[in-house]
Amino acid sequence: MWDRPSGSTRFRYKEPVEAAYELVEEVLKPFAAQLNKYRKLGMLVQTKKVGLGLAKGIIKFSRESETEFREFAPDDALEWLGGLVMEWETECTDEIEKQCIRDIKKLFHE
């Protein structure tokens, strides 16, 4: 994050918080792509593993990380995950996937 431009840019000022969110998206997008790939291929066991692993990692980071980065983006990864789960839920028709979504949502409340 520290190598990314924040502050004044040619067209506008970019807050460090905004730069942090962009970094969160950039880092997590490949995991979302893998999740969607498994979903489209009907690989539900792998879908569940990736989904739960991603959720557990994000939640652990949000609760336990002591990095300076977390100060700029304390909830960004959780918000991103919430959006991913909502999108997944609207597209989901398979009962196994629905159970996986419920399992991920439970992690938010542990």
Q: How confident is the model at residue 3 (pLDDT cuts 50, 70, 90)?
A: low
pLDDT of 32 reads 92
Highest mean pLDDT pick, 6-15, 32-41, 60-69 = 32-41
pLDDT in tens, 77-105: 888 888 998 998 998 888 888 998 899 88
| Distance separating alpha carbons of residues 31 and 57, to the nearest angstrom | 11
pTM strictly above 0.85: no
| Residues 79 and 24 sit within 8 Å (Cβ to Cβ) | no
| Distance separating alpha carbons of residues 59 and 100, to the nearest angstrom | 16
pLDDT in tens, 18-64: 888 888 889 999 999 999 999 999 898 998 899 999 999 988 888 88
| Residues 23 and 42 sit within 8 Å (Cβ to Cβ) | no
